[in-house]
Chain A
Amino acid sequence: MSVELEQVVKEYPGDVTALRGVSLSVPDGAQVAILGPSGSGKTTMLSILGTLERPTRGTVRVAGTVVGTASDNELAGLRAHTIGFVFQAFHLQETLSAVDNVATGMLYMGRPLRERREAARAALERVGLGHRLDFRPKQLSGGERQRVAIARAVAKRPQILLADEPTGNLDSKSGAEVIDLLLALAADGATLVLITHDPSIAGRFPRRLHMHDGDITEDERG
């Protein structure tokens, strides 16, 4: 599914301008890395792409839905069915097993628990954690935890996959594995947008956006 931004401005209370009129078009199935120093507006951009935030001005179109005018319910539906998130801090629930963490990813789609668990097992197999189904996050390594989080994001087969510095808390080896995994999963046809400040990771993406001070300063391809 495609994502389009037109002259998007995002301001926060207290005169903070996170985005200053960003325009961007990510076609269906594209793989894009967003690079930039902290405070450049990367995370705000990803929140807007993921419909977690509405733009202050400008137009955002995610999978055909105009975010500015859609209701809270419509946006939630979009996130439940179409968008998968991967975070730097994993955001796994410590009290749940790997399977149940992944199954929670489909909780708000209204699918029955058994079906969700089945899909969760399959997703954990795909990320290479078939042998860790009943492990709690505490019993897993950092790389494994991020792979559980990735399984949670992809189990519902989202058309848009958004990752916010997924390797930020990992050593370089596990980081590389996580990127391999994300690129492989996205190859199925999902649109992948990934934030990083590591140029070597960004280098593996066919399209790279450089951000600075709330704007895109460079749109590199190839």
Chain B
Amino acid sequence: MSDSARIPPHELLGVALQEPRTRKLRAALSALGIAIGIGAMVAVVGVSASAQANLIAEINGLGTNLLTVTPGQTLLGQNALLPNTSVPMIGHMQNVVNDAAIYQLSQNVYRSPYVPVAQTGGIGVDATGENLPRVVSTTLASGRFLNDVAARYPEVVLGAQAAAVLQITRVTGHVMVYLGSRWFTVVGILDPVVLDSSLDSTVFVSLPVAERLFGTQPNPSEIYVRSSQDDVVGVSNLLPATADPQDASGVNVSRPSDLLEARAAAKGQFTTLLLGLGAVALLVGAIGIANIMVISVLERRGEIGLRRALGATRRHITLQFLTESALLAVLGGIAGVIIGATATVIYTQTRHEPFVVPSYALVAAPAAGLLIGAIAGLYPATKAARLSPTEALRAA
């Protein structure tokens, strides 16, 4: 039938724009809920993406060429030991820039002999050499590290967490701790070790002192290896056989930066609670739009009746109101992206973090608006289309 009722899509868009254009305040208020909801979600995504980018930058700053060697299990399933020869063997490897070993001692540390033996505070005692802070990229919060010159004296350096547990905040030269039936002078406190936080709850004594006082020649419990930056994989592949030529399978090699980056990425998976709040705001926004549209349909019965008289089909009326509510929600979505991005900029600038808003958020936000608007408009639009034109005309 050539004489059908039709309206070009761009004209329909124009018709849908008429009402929001003439009632700007109402349109803005009804889009506000969506704007707040989308804004909250974009901010949550942006802030956590920025924090994650910051963390990864920090990890990269510490160097991704650190490898750790630890004893694993033998083929028979028993705990393996790293041979004492592994440390010099690794030290002689090509492309190994630096290395440091720690030796776990079966000792505990206390503030004084009067502290009950069971109250160890979870602090371990390791022997090590002067290289450790440099290899694991940490600095001293206070004092100095162990050195070979003073290797004969009973000195300790505290990890950051160990110092907190022992309630020692500053090195004065007079603070002592009680370790293995002896007093040790605290000479230094380490900053937190980002690449291996297990070092934080440890106190360190020098290897010669440990050997002399506790009379043992312990096996290394962990060896930290800095390879040259361009041969990390090569070194990592050679490490097991170098550490223990007899049983390379009992040697574990890992790269802490990989682990941390994976953890940072997982942490970046934004806090569910805040996203949930954003979703609630979106829901409220959708209800707000639906509400305004229902009122609008009631107020505009005359217009609806007129349009039907002028040849609009029920579908035209449905589409007009659906487009109108989708349009409001898309505007809300775009405003929300601006609000969320601005919040992220402010947050990251105050914390001197890099600014990151994932590009998917920029596309997803208006798209979500479109979808929400269409859903919110469904009921009012259907209601408008079902109105009897005669009654609609008479009511106005």
Interface residues of chain A, those whose CB is within 8 Å of chain B, are: 43-44, 47, 50, 52-53, 72-74, 76-82, 85, 87, 89, 91, 93, 95-96, 104-105, 107-110, 112-113
Min distance, Cβ B190 to any Cβ of chain A, angstroms:
72
Q: Which of B267-275, B371-379, B386-394 forms contacts with chain A?
A: B386-394
Q: Are B313 and A53 in contact (CB under 8 A)?
A: no
Q: In the bound complex, how far is the Cα of B308 from the Cα of A44, in angstroms?
A: 16
Q: Which of B6-14, B31-39, B192-200, B206-214 forms contacts with chain A?
A: B6-14
Min distance, Cβ B227 to any Cβ of chain A, angstroms:
71
Min distance, Cβ A96 to any Cβ of chain B, angstroms:
8
Determine whether B75 belongs to the interface, using a CB cutoff of 8 Å to chain A.
no
Q: Are A104 and B310 in contact (CB under 8 A)?
A: yes
B residues within 8 A CB of A52?
308-309, 388-390, 393
Q: Which of B257-311 touch A at CB < 8 Å? A: 302-303, 305-311
Q: Are A73 and B313 in contact (CB under 8 A)?
A: yes
Partner of B316 from A47, A108, A113 at Cβ < 8 Å? A108
Min distance, Cβ B351 to any Cβ of chain A, angstroms:
48
Q: Are B306 and A82 in contact (CB under 8 A)?
A: no
Q: Residue on B with the closest CB to A81?
A: B3
28 A-B pairs, CB-CB below 8 angstroms? Answer: A43-B390, A52-B389, A52-B390, A72-B313, A73-B313, A73-B315, A74-B1, A76-B312, A76-B313, A79-B5, A79-B310, A79-B311, A80-B3, A80-B310, A85-B309, A85-B310, A87-B306, A89-B396, A95-B22, A104-B310, A107-B7, A107-B15, A107-B310, A108-B307, A108-B311, A109-B6, A110-B8, A112-B8
B residues within 8 A CB of A47?
389-390
B residues within 8 A CB of A87?
306, 393
Q: Are B390 and A80 in contact (CB under 8 A)?
A: no
A residues within 8 A CB of B308?
52, 76, 79
Q: Are A50 and B3 in contact (CB under 8 A)?
A: no
Given A44-B390, A79-B310, A95-B22, residue A110 in contact with residue B7 (CB < 8 A): yes
Determine whether B119 belongs to the interface, using a CB cutoff of 8 Å to chain A.
no
Q: Are B302 and A77 in contact (CB under 8 A)?
A: no
**Which DSSP category, helix, strand, loop or mixed, fits chain B's interface?**
helix
Q: Are B11 and A50 in contact (CB under 8 A)?
A: no
Q: Are A82 and B309 in contact (CB under 8 A)?
A: no
Min distance, Cβ A146 to any Cβ of chain B, angstroms:
14
Determine whether B18 belongs to the interface, using a CB cutoff of 8 Å to chain A.
yes
Interface size class of B (residues with CB under 8 A): 20 to 34
Q: Are A77 and B3 in contact (CB under 8 A)?
A: yes
Q: Are B11 and A107 in contact (CB under 8 A)?
A: yes
Given A47-B390, A80-B5, A89-B396, residue A105 in contact with residue B310 (CB < 8 A): yes
| Interface-centre pick from B4, B18, B309, B393 (highest chain A CB count, 10 A) | B309
Interface residues of chain B, those whose CB is within 8 Å of chain A, are: 1, 3-8, 11, 15, 18, 21-22, 302-303, 305-316, 388-390, 393-394, 396
Q: Are A77 and B310 in contact (CB under 8 A)?
A: no
Given A76-B5, A91-B305, residue A113 in contact with residue B11 (CB < 8 A): yes
- A52-B393, A53-B388, A79-B311 known, 10 other contacts, Cβ within 8 Å: A43-B394, A72-B313, A76-B4, A77-B5, A79-B5, A87-B393, A95-B18, A104-B310, A107-B307, A108-B311
Partner of B1 from A53, A77, A79 at Cβ < 8 Å? A77
Min distance, Cβ B318 to any Cβ of chain A, angstroms:
11
Min distance, Cβ A55 to any Cβ of chain B, angstroms:
13
Q: Residue on B with the closest CB to A112?
A: B8
Partner of A81 from B309, B311, B396 at Cβ < 8 Å? B311
Q: In the bound complex, how far is the Cα of B1 from the Cα of A73, in angstroms?
A: 10
A residues within 8 A CB of B22?
95
Q: Residue on A with the closest CB to B12?
A: A107
Q: Residue on A with the closest CB to B18?
A: A95
Q: In the bound complex, how far is the Cα of B18 from the Cα of A91, in angstroms?
A: 16
Partner of A108 from B6, B21, B303 at Cβ < 8 Å? B6
Q: Residue on B with the closest CB to A96?
A: B18
Q: Residue on B with the closest CB to A104?
A: B310
Q: In the bound complex, how far is the Cα of B302 from the Cα of A113, in angstroms?
A: 23
B residues within 8 A CB of A82?
3
Q: Residue on A with the closest CB to B314?
A: A72
Q: In the bound complex, how far is the Cα of B268 from the Cα of A152, in angstroms?
A: 60
Q: In the bound complex, how far is the Cα of B394 from the Cα of A85, in angstroms?
A: 14
Q: Are B309 and A50 in contact (CB under 8 A)?
A: yes
Q: Are B3 and A93 in contact (CB under 8 A)?
A: no
Q: Are A76 and B311 in contact (CB under 8 A)?
A: yes
A residues within 8 A CB of B309?
50, 52, 79, 85
Q: In the bound complex, how far is the Cα of B13 from the Cα of A113, in angstroms?
A: 13
B residues within 8 A CB of A108?
5-7, 307, 310-313, 316
Q: Are A109 and B311 in contact (CB under 8 A)?
A: yes
